[in-house]
A and B are shown apart, each in its own frame.
Chain A
């Protein structure tokens, strides 16, 4: 009786945790097959991220960009649009901000003002990125998924164009920008780690997303629009404007993320490929069931998996890409509505039987 009640009440949580556990076990199986020294690889994967202060903070540092992209995706999914521009917006914002900080703006702008200004620019770049596919969709019904995936490639090449022709430092052998101005960078918080003040901005973004979606009228309209567009129209919500607003904010969050990541972790702009943070953000948001309050935990989990895989990749020669498979499997399980459905059904039947006997 008690367990049945528990199962029905916390079914979503049980499903997610089971999916994560299955994914984790599969990760161990994968490592087991590919490694010459499987036990060591497994140990490195699980305990590696906790082995030193630097690695532990690597997890938190990685969670920062993931938080921004997953919060951005959360806005997109809340309004019911698969706007994947978060990926490209993140990268282009990073490129524009890096260009401003390394080449275009004078390095003498005072410390706090400089990064604040750049982050605002990043937000605007991201917002514009989110706006374009939203407009194309609202005005002409162009398929958002395909359009944004294509635009992500366009934005990636735009970023590498900025890198190559606007800010390349030809005195270094690799493809990289000039050094970012010291005043533009976000401060490192802890000696011996790269943890930077961007984490406060990330936490603020979580609080903002939670507040906006759950406590404001606009946020409510966004959620209603996402749940049932016809109903939203019927009760007088301006569907087009809430779709536009959600996707602009989503893009802006990605843009802030790109700016924060560049200013917090890099000396030069070095991205020549898509970062993948946007797609990881989508997975995080899905796994968190689009609940802003749950996103930080899932972001930390994904960061932990990724850092563990990276350590395995650098120390044991097993390719770190196996973690993509794990992440995908976890998402596939969670997205499968009927995954573990029989467990819930059995619990519901048991409960109703008991209730029937009491009466």
Chain B
């Protein structure tokens, strides 16, 4: 049984699957990264992605264009983000309760909207929606093995990798990024030099939501070619975990997302081998918990060494 794993074809297929499974996680983790640098946690990412993936399908079906679909995703994510920002920043809502309630809101709301638009409660297969095309990269695609692995992915997958660089520049090399980090590091100090903490947090949350929305678009316009209810299956939370693991570093976040993508891909590959599917399905979630604990423990040990934590 194990020999099949060790063949080259299997390995290639596995790596392709890793990249594919990582794409939504990368987008979401980058969203979580921006929020974390602003000193908050965007608990609504799951709901943002879910709403984004539904509106993406609806808009791509209406406009019959892929760009229209992506725009729809951004709009869908923005709706939830704006609600979140308004309630949290302007009505002093609890971050976690509001985030979780918005996820429930999106979970029920997408099913309701889906029914309103298509008459179906499960998937959007009745809508003639489009998928984001796959890109074959000119020179790389001709390299023997590497070409197979790296070329021919969904365009959003490449955009996800580019987005890692973009967030790096945004957070660590731009004016806005500096302000976001200042607000996250010490809001009072930031306010004392004339930065509007509320405004910066608002921008950080909206950016966070926009990045995650692209992950939502990938789910319904790439990973699958339609929307299915509750299709995020906790990816929004895994994204938050990935950023936490990487301690807010953008390339570390990419690595952590790839790691979770690998766990996800492994669970799918192993499931085809007639292994006990329920145990295999636990892998990504268990990996997240173990990873989070290890990183938290290391962080704590470091802080103790520096004497910042006394108990």
Chain A residues with CB under 8 Å of chain B are 30, 33-34, 82, 84, 136, 139-143, 145-147, 149-151, 153-154, 157-158, 160-161, 164-165, 233, 279, 282-283, 286, 318-319, 321-325, 327-329, 331-332, 335-339
Contact B240 A146 (CB under 8 A): yes
List 6 additional contacts besides A33-B116, A143-B244, A145-B96; criterion CB under 8 Å: A146-B292, A150-B238, A161-B278, A331-B104, A332-B93, A332-B101
Q: List 6 A-B contacts (CB under 8 A).
A: A141-B300, A146-B240, A154-B289, A279-B104, A283-B104, A332-B98
B121 on interface, CB distance cutoff 8 Å: yes
Q: Kindly report which residue of chain B lies nearest to residue A161, judged by CB atoms.
A: B278
Q: Kindly report which residue of chain A lies nearest to residue B238, judged by CB atoms.
A: A150
Expressed in whole angstroms, the Cα–Cα distance for A321 and B93 within the complex equals 24
**Which of B234, B279, B282 has the most chain A CB atoms closer than 10 A to its own CB?**
B282
Q: Kindly report which residue of chain B lies nearest to residue A163, judged by CB atoms.
A: B278
Number of B interface residues, CB 8 Å?
47
Expressed in whole angstroms, the Cα–Cα distance for A143 and B115 within the complex equals 36
B43 on interface, CB distance cutoff 8 Å: yes
Contact A328 B108 (CB under 8 A): yes
A339 contacts which chain B residues (CB < 8 A)? 91
Shortest CB-to-CB span from A19 to chain B, Å, is 12
Residues 60 to 111 of chain B near chain A (Cβ within 8 Å):
83, 87, 90-94, 96-98, 100-102, 104-105, 107-109, 111
Q: With A154-B285, A154-B289 as given contacts, are A140 and B300 in contact (CB-CB < 8 Å)?
A: yes
Contact A336 B91 (CB under 8 A): yes
> Secondary structure of the A side of the interface?
helix
Shortest CB-to-CB span from B55 to chain A, Å, is 16
Q: Kindly report which residue of chain B lies nearest to residue A162, judged by CB atoms.
A: B278
Q: Kindly report which residue of chain A lies nearest to residue B105, judged by CB atoms.
A: A328
Q: With A157-B282, A323-B108 as given contacts, are A141 and B299 in contact (CB-CB < 8 Å)?
A: yes
Expressed in whole angstroms, the Cα–Cα distance for A153 and B238 within the complex equals 11
Q: With A150-B237, A328-B105 as given contacts, are A322 and B112 in contact (CB-CB < 8 Å)?
A: yes
Contact code string B146-163 (vs A, CB < 8 Å = 1, else 0): 000000000000000000
Shortest CB-to-CB span from A283 to chain B, Å, is 7
B238 contacts which chain A residues (CB < 8 A)? 150
B87 contacts which chain A residues (CB < 8 A)? 332, 335-336
Expressed in whole angstroms, the Cα–Cα distance for A261 and B233 within the complex equals 25
A327 contacts which chain B residues (CB < 8 A)? 104, 108
Residues 114 to 131 of chain B near chain A (Cβ within 8 Å):
115-116, 121
Contact B293 A136 (CB under 8 A): yes
Shortest CB-to-CB span from A189 to chain B, Å, is 32
Q: With A146-B240, A154-B286, A321-B111 as given contacts, are A140 and B276 in contact (CB-CB < 8 Å)?
A: no
B281 on interface, CB distance cutoff 8 Å: yes
Contact B112 A319 (CB under 8 A): yes
Q: With A142-B296, A153-B285 as given contacts, are A335 and B101 in contact (CB-CB < 8 Å)?
A: yes
B49 on interface, CB distance cutoff 8 Å: no
B241 on interface, CB distance cutoff 8 Å: yes
B224 on interface, CB distance cutoff 8 Å: no
Expressed in whole angstroms, the Cα–Cα distance for A282 and B97 within the complex equals 9
B278 contacts which of A84, A143, A160 (Cβ < 8 Å)?
A160
B23 on interface, CB distance cutoff 8 Å: no
Shortest CB-to-CB span from A330 to chain B, Å, is 9
Contact B97 A153 (CB under 8 A): no
Expressed in whole angstroms, the Cα–Cα distance for A199 and B96 within the complex equals 31
B244 contacts which chain A residues (CB < 8 A)? 143, 146
B96 contacts which of A34, A82, A318 (Cβ < 8 Å)?
A82
Contact B116 A34 (CB under 8 A): yes
B297 on interface, CB distance cutoff 8 Å: yes
B108 contacts which chain A residues (CB < 8 A)? 321-325, 327-328
B98 contacts which of A319, A325, A335 (Cβ < 8 Å)?
A335
Q: Kindly report which residue of chain A lies nearest to residue B295, judged by CB atoms.
A: A142
B288 on interface, CB distance cutoff 8 Å: yes
A282 contacts which chain B residues (CB < 8 A)? 97, 100
Q: Kindly report which residue of chain A lies nearest to residue B230, judged by CB atoms.
A: A273
Contact A149 B104 (CB under 8 A): no
Contact B296 A338 (CB under 8 A): no
Q: Kindly report which residue of chain B lies nearest to residue A273, judged by CB atoms.
A: B230
Shortest CB-to-CB span from A182 to chain B, Å, is 29
Shortest CB-to-CB span from B93 to chain A, Å, is 5
A158 contacts which chain B residues (CB < 8 A)? 278, 282
Q: Kindly report which residue of chain B lies nearest to residue A159, judged by CB atoms.
A: B278
Residues 255 to 310 of chain B near chain A (Cβ within 8 Å):
276, 278-279, 281-282, 285-286, 288-289, 292-293, 296-297, 299-300
